[in-house]
Amino acid sequence: MLCQRQTTTRRAEKNQQGFTLLEIMIVVVIVGIAAGLAIPNFTLMYARHELYQATTSLYNRLLFARSAAISRNAMIVATPTNVPGAQSQVAFTPPLGSETLPLNVTFVLLPAQPIGFTPRGLSTTPLANQTVQLQSVRDPNLIYSISLAPSGKVTWCTRQINPCLQNQ
């Protein structure tokens, strides 16, 4: 019985094989190439996500400002500002506070005057659409737009157009 155990142990030792250094290096090279191809796509995907989050957050904040103007029977104004070297912000009339954009999202062109809503929920600029455009710092070609119609309707779109005609 003891002899039988030794022979099975010796056979198991002879059959054990590992990976060679060459096989491991080939796997590392393949994984490296796959990662090299995936990183630019991941960066663009992250830039889109970051810009989408900032745009929808500001869009929802403007909708809230409109409803606050109607319910409080007061004018609510939002003033977007780009701060060099810091995060861009949109300051709303108190008590709504301000909306801070992520560090890698800025405004393309600031509106000539603050955007806002009258106590009836209409735009403070009754004869023209107002558009705010947000741009990704990671991908400067990526620009989303938020438009405020004279009727007070807020829309946003994933293109650089003035004004956004529909929510896309």
Least confident of 24-33, 46-55, 100-109: 100-109
- Tell me: pLDDT of 75 over 50: yes
Residue 165: the pLDDT is 63
Lowest mean pLDDT segment, chosen from 43-47, 109-113, 119-123: 109-113
Look at residues 117, 81, 84 and name the one whose alpha carbon lies nearest to residue 100.
Answer: 81
* Domains defined for the chain, CATH in brackets: 22-157 (3.55.40.10)
For residues 60 and 36, what is the distance between their CA atoms, to the nearest angstrom? 37
Q: What is the mean pLDDT of residues 102-120?
A: 85
Q: Average pLDDT, stretch 13-41?
A: 84
pLDDT category, 55, cuts 50, 70, 90?
Answer: very high
What is the full DSSP assignment across 43-98? HHHHHHHHHHHHHHHHHHHHHHHHHHHHHHTS-EEEEEE--TTS--EEEESTTS-E
Provide the mean pLDDT of the chain: 84
Q: Provide the pLDDT for residue 29.
A: 92
pTM for the model stands at 0.75
Q: What is the pLDDT of residues 112-153, one digit of tens each?
A: 788 889 999 998 888 888 888 899 988 888 999 998 999 989
Task: Flag whether pLDDT at 13 surpasses 70.
Answer: no
